[in-house]
Structure 1
Amino acid sequence: MRVVTSREMREIDHAAINDYGIPGVVLMENAGLQVVRMVQEQLGDMGGKVITIFTGKGNNGGDGLVAARHLHNRGAEVKVLLLAKPEDITGDAAINLNIWLKMAQNVYPVVCSDDLNALRPLLEKTDLIVDAIYGTGFRGTVSEPMGSVIEAINGCGKPVIAVDIPSGVEADTGRVSSVCIKATSTVTFAQPKLGLLLYPGAEYAGRVRVADISIPALLGENKGLKRSLLGLETVSEWLPPRPAVSHKGDFGRVLVVAGSAGLTGAACLTAEAVARTGAGMVTLAVPEGLLGIVGAKLTEVMTYPLPQTEQHSLSLEALPVIARLLEKADVLAMGPGLSTNPETMQLVRKLAGRLSLPCVLDADGLNAMANWTEIFKRAKAPLVLTPHPGEMARLTGLVISSIEQDRLGTAEKYASLWGAVVALKGVPTLVTSPDGHTYINSSGNPGMSGGGSGDVLTGIIAGLLAQGMDAVRAAAAGVYLHGLAGDKAAEQKGMLGMLAGDILSALPGVLRELEDI
């Protein structure tokens, strides 16, 4: 499903109205009915229920007025609080205001402090609030009296349904004003908006539903829209087929270069994740002194000893050995648990500079590239980078807070600059291709914020690459499957007690479920 900015949504609306001939008032009617549907799901029978609808002067307010009419017809006691002068309402919203005035005649303008004084007693008697104050065009700071109204709504403790987007959230960035509606749920129309998926806006949206308002589906599938929300159906369609007549060589050979003293767990998690994702053959190459440890942990994965430093990390002498191993591999996964030993870091850079097959670079593999990112451009095959914000800061020279303030812009800029697929971990994880297409993840939970989780992700992506997926789809599907397995692990173990190994254990079941879709 494509994710849109406010401008892109306006263009879709414009095309629906002008190219397809769907009147704007029809779209508004359908939007209001979707609000009614959500209200009924939360409250059940409308008889005797008190619903307070706050409306602004734009089309968002018009959606709220449509909802008011239908809720009134279904037996609810509806109070419309208008945060504008009636004469300032125009267009389709004015049509619906006039209908409402003829039906009920109980609009309460809220334009001054005296109006605010009567607000709190009214909120105490309401069962549910509908926020139709600002729409997707909001930018900057909430003005008065809207700011005081929003504070009163947030402070009353009643459930709140936001229309399209919570008032005070910027639709393009997820940034929030100093005061912002804290919604229980949000019903957004036609396409999800960026601000509902990016933090902190996502935190204010509650449960989000994307509702159909009769805009032709083709408009939402426009190839000019370059951001998509990852979901079950999309990822299941991408999974590589498993022909009846096949052998292990058909599903790819992955070389995992990982591990150092004290960090063999990272190497093992990565290698096993590759195998669990369906790759045909997996070889884990580690410092020679650690071969016995990883051999004892892994049964289905082949292991290979590499020359090591005195600190039991990989030495430069491993370079020609790895080069020979790569001749028999289809994909390289490199970085987990390698350590920051200077000689090992130099080895990583030399390998990265001569890549001729798809590679997933993570953890210490990324740390080795700080101040050396021009090497990324030399890759002769697809490169997938999986940094968390700290690693991204080291690669870019930016401070972490700057990255977190514009995660989307950062991921898209550097994917293009480096010519690599960037999977910027976080909430949500963003997967961006060099051509600017971004996938926004919808799976995962806070229980995954523990050691080893990223190593599992590296292995999943490498396993999908080995089976023939292109780099951006392998990274996007890998991120989604990783989060889905994390959600399954959280159900079984709880978020406090789950480990990276639990994510790995849940992965086969998740893959099985997707195969059945």
Structure 2
Amino acid sequence: MSGAMDITEALLRGMPLPRPDEDGDKDRRGQVMVVAGSVEVPGAALLAGIAALRAGAGKLQMATARSVAVPLGLAVPEALVIGLPETPDGGIAPEAGAELARRARRCGAVLVGPGMTNGAESAALTGVLLDRLDGPALVLDAAALRGLTDSRERLHRHAGRAVITPHAGEMASLLGIEREAVAADPRGTARRAAALLQVVVVMKGPCTEIVTPQGEAWRYSGGTVGLATSGSGDTLAGLVAGLLARGATPLQAAVWAVHLHGEAGNRLTRRHGPLGFLARELLAEVPGIMAALSDPVGGEAVSSEPPR
């Protein structure tokens, strides 16, 4: 089980994304809730939310710290923005969890974590959501990853509909090991986390590894160094959430999002050079890349299951 399948255009054409009916409305394209941001990092919610829409989701709710909600709503007029009680350091207070869970019932996917304060309050909020959510697919990123191993029984309730998106430092903290150990065996540590937590793991890095709880693995090594920039991870998490809201499985959403993210960086690299493009600039590239892969080769019917 040591190998991994390369993510290629041919592989993606063999696991096509769900398509909305031509006469379908925005509700049928899927709703996303993004729980993200803080007073210090409100832009993470913006990047993740717009990424979800660029992935094709029909409706977006963004929930963030109350004092930054209005500016965020003005910056993303396509979204319904919810201002939540704040902690003293400008994060989202844990007592917001019950209300968020109630609002999320009609959503296809919920993303938690980008730009949230990296403290016990964020871990507590994530725990409340894990307890109270029932139905939506989940993406856990950044601050929402804190303490997950201690909450794994809560997370197991969501087996089959959850994705986590750690980088090496977050994975090390998650498993209680050194970062060097993650760097030495990213696929192995991703397999360990996927089995422990019963989630699909997107192990971000120069070669991004995607692993299922059963240990199956996919990899994407076609990105460029320019993707290692502030906000890039927020856009990736938002893409995963948007695809989940459309009805993709956790594995489909992870594999497609990683490819779309990487190829968006490649387009910008060809246009601007390997360094200096911004995470926000990735977003406008996504629909075109997705459209180019939307039709199976030759127009033949293909399976929606990933190739083995």
TM-score by length of 1: 0.54
Once the two structures are TM-superposed, the CA of residue 514 in structure 1 deviates from its matched residue by 1.8
Q: Report the residue type matching 1:233 in the other structure.
A: A
Corresponding position of 1:337: 115
Given the superposition, is the C-alpha separation of residues 296 and 329 from structure 1 closer, same or farther in structure 2, using an over 3 Å criterion? same
**Structure 2 counterpart of 1:496, one-letter code:** L
8 A Cα contact 2:159 2:199, kept in partner: no
Say whether 1:349 aligns with 2:127: yes
Q: 2:260 aligned to 476, 481, 490, which one?
A: 481
What is the rounded CA distance, in whole Å, between the counterparts of 1:437 and 1:344 in structure 2? Answer: 30
- How far 1:368 moved relative to its partner? 4.7
Secondary structure of 1:303's match? strand
How large is the RMSD of aligned CA atoms in angstroms?
Answer: 1.8
- Cα distance between partner residues in 1 of 2:214 and 2:159: 16
Letter of the 1:279 counterpart? A
Matched to 2:6, the amino acid is L
Give me the whole-angstrom Cα distance separating, in 2, the residues matched to 1:411 and 1:343: 26
Given the alignment of the two structures, is residue 309 of structure 1 paired with residue 87 of structure 2, yes or no? yes
Find out whether 1:246 has 2:24 as its counterpart.
yes
Q: Which amino acid aligns with 2:126?
A: V
How many residues are paired up? 294
Measured in 2, the distance between the counterparts of 1:242 and 1:377 equals 30
Amino acid at match of 1:229: D
Q: CA deviation at 1:370?
A: 5.9
- The answer on whether the counterparts of 1:349 and 1:368 sit within 8 Å (CA) in structure 2 is no
Q: Partner amino acid for 1:317? A: E
Counterpart of 1:228 in structure 2 is: 5
Counterpart code for 1:232: E
Is the aligned partner of 1:388 residue 2:167? yes
Larger Rg: 1
Aligned counterparts, 1:152-171, within 5 A: none
2:105/2:133 contact within 8 Å kept: no
Q: Which of these residues, 89, 95, 101, is aligned with residue 323 of structure 1?
A: 101
**Offset at residue 376 of structure 1 (A):** 2.4
Unaligned regions of 5+ residues in structure 2, if any? 298-308
Q: Secondary structure at the match of 2:27?
A: helix
- Between the aligned partners of 2:218 and 2:159, the Cα distance in structure 1 is 24
Tell me if the contact between 1:313 and 1:341 (Cα under 8 Å) persists in the aligned partners.
no
Q: Is the 8 A contact 1:412 1:432 kept in 2?
A: yes
Q: Distance in 2 between matches of 1:380 and 1:430?
A: 19
Q: Which runs of 4+ in 1 moved over 4 A?
A: none
Q: Distance in 1 between matches of 2:241 and 2:75?
A: 20
How big is the shift at 1:240? 2.1
Change over 3 Å in CA distance of 1:374–1:398 after alignment to 2: farther
Corresponding residue number in structure 1 for 2:57: 279
Aligned 1:192-203 pairs, distance under 5 A: none
Alignment of 1:40-439 (within 5 A): 227-237=4-14, 238-356=16-134, 357-369=136-148, 371-379=150-158, 382-439=161-218
Counterpart of 2:106 in 1: which secondary structure? coil
The CA distance in 2 between the partners of 1:419 and 1:330, in whole Å, is: 19
- Identity percentage of aligned residues: 34
